[in-house]
Amino acid sequence: MPDGTTVDYDGLIPNNVGLSDDLRVRRALETWHPGYIDWWRQMGPEGFQERLVYLRTAVGVGSEGWAKFGFVRMPEYRWGVLLAPAVEDRKIGFGAHKGEPAWQDVPGEYRAMLRRLLVIQGDTEPASVEQQRHLGATAPSQYDMRNLFQVNVEEGRHLWAMVYLLQKYFGRDGREEAEELLRRRSGDQDSPRMLGAFNEATPDWLSFFMFTFFTDRDGKMQLAALAQSGFDPLSRTCRFMLTEEAHHMFVGETGVQRIVQRTCEAMRDAGIDDPTDVERVRALGVIDLPTLQKKANLHFSLTLDLFGNEISTNAANAFNAGLKGRFREDKLTDDHVLVGATYPVLRLRDGMIMREDVPALSALNMRLRDDFVDDASAGVTRWNRVLERAGLEFRLRLPHVAFNRRIGEFAAIHADVDGNLLSEEQWRTRQGSLLPSAADNEFVISLMQPAQAPGAFASWIAPPRIGIDNKPGNFEYVKIEA
C-alpha cells in the first residue's frame, strides 16, 4: 500500500494512489493518456514543445520538499495523480451530515451533484492552457517564459486530478466526462469551455499576469472550498492542488508588481511625475498606470462572474450535502450548518444597490466572492507599496462589484468603479476610461517584443528579485537553441 507521501514513478502515470494495484482505473487512465497528449500537442504551448524547460515536478506530497527542479521537454512532463495525505478519522465538517465520517466513496444521493462539481472544476484547467498557448513567442524574459510553462503543465496536472476522480469513482459516465474535457475548447463557437472567463482571449502578457492574479485566484477559492469536502478523495486532491496553485498566484502578483516597478523607474528617470500623462509614459516603452488600472477592472469583473448568482440554491445544496464548504470552513467558529443564519449581500432593489440580509445558505457564492475580494485586495495593497516607495500618489484599486458584470444582479445595469449607476449613454461615454480600449490593447500588444537571451528583460517589466529555485539572473531557464 502507498503510504500517501511518496510518489510511485515506476508506471506511465506517477501517483500516490496505488494505481499499480488498481488495474481498472490504471487501464482507464492509460486509455485516456494518448488523447491527453494529443490535446497537449495541439492546444498546449505553441512553439516550444521540443525545448528543454527548467520545471518543477511533484515528487512527494509532504509539506516540505515536495517538488524537484530539472530540465524537461513539456510533452514528457510527468503528469501524475497526487493526493494530500489522508487525515485519520476525518469527519464531515459542515452541512446536514456534519460529524459523520468523511465519505471514501461517492454518496449515491449526491452522485450527480458531485460529478457536476468535478466537471466544472476540471473544465477550467485545460481551458487556461488553451487561452495562454500563444504567449511563449512574446515572453518578456526566459524567467517569465518558464513560469508560463510551469503554470501550463500544472493546469494540465489539475486536469489529471479531476479526471482521476471521474475515472475512479464514476465508471462509465466518468469516462465520458473525461473525454468531453478534452473535446471542449476555449473560445470555440460550437463547443466552448463551460465558464465565460475561460473563453476570453489571453492575447498578451499583461492579460496573462492579470489572469493569473485574478482568475487563478478564483481557482484557489474554489479549490479551498472543495478541499473542505466530505467526499474525502476530493478534499485530498484539492489540498494538494492548492500547493501548486500558490505559484500561480505568485506569478500573477509579482508579474504586475514588476510592471508597476518598471513604469515607476522609467517615469522617474524621465522626470515625469504625472501618471496620467499617458502619451509621454508610453513613449518610454512602459505600460502607463491608468492602463494597468483598466486591465485590473476588466479581469476583476470577468472573474467575479465566475462566482455565479448572488442567491444560489445550487450552492446551498452543495453545502448541505457536505460536498463544498466555505473558504477555511474548518477555521470558522459558527455551527457549520447555517440553518437560520443570515449573510449580507449587495442586491439591486428598485434600481439601487442595497445591502440585504439573506439566508446564509443561499448566499454561499457571495461569501466565497467576498473572501476572494479580500484575498485579491491584499495583493493590490502590495502593488501599491511600489507606488508609495516611488513617491507617486497614484494608487491601484479594485472596482466596485457591480462594475461591468454579465452574471447576477448587476448584469442588468451599468455602474462605474465606485458603484454609481450609469445610464446607457453615460456608460457608453465613460467605458473607454474604465475598461481597456482598442487603442490601449494595441499599445500593450505593440510592447510584446520577445526577450529570449538569458538574463534579458523586455522594456516594460523589471527583473524579479530572486530567480526560480534561487537561480542567478542570467540562468537559462529555457534552452531556446535546442
The footprint of Fe ion (CB under 5 A) covers: 125, 155, 158, 216, 219, 248
Written as nine digits, the cell of 463 is 527583473
Closest contact distance (angstroms) between CB of 351 and Fe ion is: 38
- With respect to Fe ion, which residue has the nearer C-beta, 241 or 451? 241
What single string gives the DSSP state of each residue in 130-156?
HHTTTGGGG-SSHHHHHHHHHHHHHHH
- Report how far apart, in Å, the C-alpha atoms of 88 and of each of 31, 232, 406, 411 are: 33, 11, 43, 45
- With respect to Fe ion, which residue has the nearer C-beta, 150 or 261? 150
Closest contact distance (angstroms) between CB of 91 and Fe ion is: 27
Closest contact distance (angstroms) between CB of 324 and Fe ion is: 16
Burial class (CB in 10 A: 0-12, 13-18, 19+), 418: exposed
Calpha distance 435→469 (Å, rounded): 37
Q: Three-state DSSP class for 346?
A: strand
Closest CA to 271 of 258, 283, 259, 256: 283
Neighbours of 90 (CB within 10 A): 15
Report whether 456 contacts 445 (CB < 8 A): no
Closest contact distance (angstroms) between CB of 303 and Fe ion is: 12
- With respect to Fe ion, which residue has the nearer C-beta, 186 or 362? 186
- With respect to Fe ion, which residue has the nearer C-beta, 56 or 336? 56
Q: Phi/psi at 405 (nearest 5 deg)?
A: -100, 150
Alpha-helical (H) ranges within 204-342 are: 205-210, 216-226, 232-270, 278-282, 289-304, 313-320
- With respect to Fe ion, which residue has the nearer C-beta, 151 or 287? 151
Closest contact distance (angstroms) between CB of 125 and Fe ion is: 5
Do the bridges between strand 52-58 and strand 478-479 make them parallel or antiparallel, or are there none, so unpaired? antiparallel
- With respect to Fe ion, which residue has the nearer C-beta, 252 or 275? 252
Closest contact distance (angstroms) between CB of 74 and Fe ion is: 16
- With respect to Fe ion, which residue has the nearer C-beta, 121 or 312? 121
- With respect to Fe ion, which residue has the nearer C-beta, 155 or 288? 155
Closest contact distance (angstroms) between CB of 249 and Fe ion is: 8
Closest CA to 69 of 146, 139, 3, 6: 146
Closest contact distance (angstroms) between CB of 209 and Fe ion is: 13
Calpha distance 157→318 (Å, rounded): 25
Which residue's C-alpha cell is 456534519?
98
